[in-house]
Chain A
Amino acid sequence: MKNNIEHNRIFKNEKIASRIIERQAFIVTPLDSTLHLLNEVGTRIWQLIEEKKNIEKIIEHICAEYDMDRLTIERDVREFIQILEKKGIVEIKKSA
Chain B
Amino acid sequence: MERNFSIKIADLKINLNDIFSDKLRRWYCFFLSRSHFPEISLNLDYIPAKRNLPLRVKKKEGQVFQIERSDFFAEIDFASFQGELKVAKNIYSFDSFLRILYSLYLLYNDGFLLHSAGIKKDGKVYLFSGSSLSGKTTVIRHLGPTLTNENAILSDEIIAIRKEKHNGGNYFFFAYPTPFWGEFKSSENINNQRAKIDRIFFLGNRNFAKLSFNEAVERLLENTIFFSRDPSSVAKLFNLGIEFLQQIPSYQLKATEGVQSYLNFPK
Whether the pair B231, A17 counts as a contact (CB closer than 8 A) is yes
Whether the pair A33, B234 counts as a contact (CB closer than 8 A) is yes
Residue of A nearest to B214 (CB): A37
Q: Confirm or deny: A2 has a beta carbon within 8 angstroms of a beta carbon on chain B.
A: no
Whether the pair B231, A26 counts as a contact (CB closer than 8 A) is no
Please give the number of chain B residues whose Cβ is less than 8 angstroms from any Cβ of chain A in the complex.
15
Q: What is the distance, in angstroms, from B1's C-beta to the closest C-beta of chain A?
A: 44
Known: A33-B229, A35-B218. A17 touches B234 (CB 8 A): yes
- Which A residues are in CB contact (< 8 Å) with B213? 21-22, 24
Known: A21-B213, A35-B217, A37-B214. A30 touches B231 (CB 8 A): yes
Q: Confirm or deny: B238 has a beta carbon within 8 angstroms of a beta carbon on chain A.
A: yes
Contact of B226 among A15, A24, A33, A35 (CB under 8 A): A33
Whether the pair A21, B234 counts as a contact (CB closer than 8 A) is no
Q: Confirm or deny: B107 has a beta carbon within 8 angstroms of a beta carbon on chain A.
A: no
Question: What's the count of A-B pairs with C-beta under 8 Å?
Answer: 42
- Which A residues are in CB contact (< 8 Å) with B235? 16-17, 28, 30
Which A residues between 1 and 52 are near B, CB-CB below 8 angstroms? Answer: 14-17, 19, 21-22, 24, 26, 28, 30-31, 33, 35, 37
How many angstroms between the C-alpha atoms of A90 and B142 in the bound complex?
48
- Which B residues are in CB contact (< 8 Å) with A17? 231, 234-235, 238-239
Contact of B234 among A14, A24, A30 (CB under 8 A): A30
Q: Confirm or deny: B110 has a beta carbon within 8 angstroms of a beta carbon on chain A.
A: no
Q: What is the distance, in angstroms, from A91's C-beta to the closest C-beta of chain B?
A: 14
How many angstroms between the C-alpha atoms of A65 and B221 in the bound complex?
33
Interface residues, chain A, CB within 8 Å of chain B? 14-17, 19, 21-22, 24, 26, 28, 30-31, 33, 35, 37
- Chain A to chain B contacts (Cβ below 8 Å), 14 pairs: A14-B231, A16-B231, A19-B238, A19-B239, A21-B242, A24-B214, A26-B214, A26-B238, A28-B235, A30-B230, A30-B235, A33-B221, A37-B214, A37-B217
